[in-house]
Amino acid sequence: MNNNDELNLDRPLIGWYGDDFTGAAAVMEALTFGGFPSVLFRQLPTPAQMEKFKDMRGIGIAGIARAMPPQWMDEHLPPIYAFLDELGVPVLHYKTCSTLDSSPETGSIGRAIELGLQQRSSRWVPMLVAAPAIRRFQAFGHLFAAAGEAVYRLDRHPVMSCHPSTPMHESDVCKHLQAQTDLPMGLIDVEQLQTEAGADDALMQRGQAQVISLDTVDDKTLLACGRLIWNNRGDGLFAAGSQGIEYALVRYWQELLNNQEVATDIGGAESVDQLLIVSGSVSAGTAEQIEHARGCGAVGVPIPPEMAFAVADERESLMQVLTVQVLDTLETGQDVALYSAMGPDDPAVAGFNQLLSESSLDVHQATQQLGAATGEILRRVLDVHPMKRVAVCGGDTSGHVMNVLDIFAFTALAAVVPGGSLVRAHSDNPAFDGLQLTLKGGQMGPVDFFQRIKIGSSD
């Protein structure tokens, strides 16, 4: 069945759950800066919190599923899906990383889709991972991602092919997901998307395939995917993929409205005198960005890997030392980068793995403890030395850090870099309300990312 093109701007159009905080924020960015104001909640909101954002066209919940096992998903995803489904949104979206970070054991996208279909019996599940705006492309089922100036097939990507927790050895999206679920899959490729009839026929002739991977390489195919998804949403659609879902829908919605009824300029952000960087990413890209920031005067403060395994008293001692070190440096007026590793070759990574092999903790517990401790250090720093702007790097880290702070929601503030723009925190605690943040995935952004965030501009 093909829906008409109706676009009701008096109700939410989409609800999403982000499998990490950075990705969840990227969805909000794509919607808001595309003209459809949206809000991202840190957890299921109260009725009073929902009332504050009753005019939003997109409602999101940020999570940490990317770093968690299927058993965790079984417990935590159903109530979130139920909440979003009960909003009556036409599209319910499980947001994945744009580099498909997942495995059967960690961040299983397949399991997330299965749980979504238990809540909403969608006739088909569009799987759109590519997003040309952030240099992610899919052609004939294979995913490609940029690294620096070059674009690589995912299984040959210099970062993702050797990712520390979910190394990507398969670029075919369907083949990758088939290790995580038995749901039948299909593909609508770049050639079929060249015409509306071709795309519609491909969807109608999908046979038993339920999860449909969608190619996207440029604006034309992005628009085609948006049209296909929106006009085949039925009585309620469950979708999976990156913020490419939102980029595609926004592109089509703007065409439906002839770009006349959406306001894409929501203001901006001024330059700040000081920036605090908090990173749990082991990406080489983030390491280069931190090194660039240090070259511009920032002081690096490494978090020892022992933090992830320390017992209570030892952990408290480490947090106190690092908190004082960060505060003392901030008092000099310098920027600070608090980080757990400078790329995958940092000895801290090998140290973490060695300690993990000797510990009773599993990797999920260890990374959660490290992230929570990092968040606690940030909270203590902000209590003593209020900051206007903070950059948090690493999808998993962002989730654990944000869960420590008294923040219940985020709204988009300024478009700086696609996938890494500035957001405004909303809190009942005056110390955190209005805090400006960027929540950046490890691979996102140019080498001068932190300087752009500091000045609040993409220039």
Mean pLDDT of the chain: 93
Q: Is 362 helix (H, G, I), strand (E, B) or coil?
A: coil
CA distances in angstroms from 429 to 99, 135, 232, 383, 406, listed in the order given: 35, 38, 43, 11, 6
Residue 111 CA to residue 116 CA, distance in Å, equals 9
**Is 105 exposed, middle or buried, given 0-12, 13-18 or 19+ CB atoms closer than 10 A?**
middle
328, pLDDT greater than 60: yes
Give per-residue pLDDT as tens, 255-273: 999 866 565 556 678 999 9
Please answer whether residues 436 and 269 qualify as being in contact, where contact means their C-beta atoms are separated by less than 8 angstroms.
yes
- 389-393 and 299-302 strand pairing: unpaired
Please answer whether residues 20 and 166 qualify as being in contact, where contact means their C-beta atoms are separated by less than 8 angstroms.
no
Show the beta-strand stretches assigned E in 255-407.
276-279, 299-302, 336-339, 389-393
Query: Which residue reads 């993702």 in tokens?
Result: 160
Select the more confidently predicted residue: 5 or 303.
303
Supply the pLDDT for residue 265: 56
Give per-residue pLDDT as tens, 25-47: 999 999 999 999 999 999 999 99
Per CATH, the number for 14-256 is 3.40.50.10840
Instruction: Kindly state the DSSP code that residue 96 receives in the 8-state scheme.
Output: P
Residue 182 CA to residue 176 CA, distance in Å, equals 12
Beta partners for residue 91, in sequence order: 14, 237
> Hey, CA dihedral for 253, 256, 261, 264, is it positive or negative?
positive
What's the mean pLDDT in 19-29? 92
With cut-offs at 50, 70 and 90, classify the pLDDT of residue 167: confident
With cut-offs at 50, 70 and 90, classify the pLDDT of residue 276: very high
What's the mean pLDDT in 366-383? 94
- Fold exhibited by the domain 276-455: Molybdenum Cofactor Biosythetic Enzyme; Chain A (3.40.980)
50, pLDDT greater than 60: yes
Ranges of CATH 3.40.50.10840 domains, the chain: 14-256
Give per-residue pLDDT as tens, 306-318: 999 999 999 999 9
Residue 329 CA to residue 331 CA, distance in Å, equals 5
With cut-offs at 50, 70 and 90, classify the pLDDT of residue 225: very high
Please answer whether residues 395 and 21 qualify as being in contact, where contact means their C-beta atoms are separated by less than 8 angstroms.
yes
242, pLDDT greater than 70: yes
Q: What count of other Cβ atoms lies within 10 Å of the Cβ of residue 434? A: 12
Supply the pLDDT for residue 327: 98
Q: Which of 323, 332, 338 is nearest to 273 (CA)?
A: 332
What's the mean pLDDT in 46-54? 96
Please answer whether residues 212 and 125 qualify as being in contact, where contact means their C-beta atoms are separated by less than 8 angstroms.
yes
Give per-residue pLDDT as tens, 387-408: 999 999 986 777 788 888 889 9
CA distances in angstroms from 377 to 213, 254, 366, 432, listed in the order given: 41, 43, 17, 14
What's the mean pLDDT in 360-369? 90
Q: Which residues of 318-328 are buried (b: 16+ CB within 10 A; e: fewer)?
A: bbeebbebbee
> Hey, CA dihedral for 306, 312, 318, 322, is it positive or negative?
positive
Supply the pLDDT for residue 1: 40
pTM exceeds 0.85, yes or no: yes
Which of 93-102, 206-215, 254-263, 339-348 has the lowest average pLDDT?
254-263
Supply the pLDDT for residue 264: 56
H/E stretch holding 52 reads helix 47-52
Residue 160 CA to residue 152 CA, distance in Å, equals 10
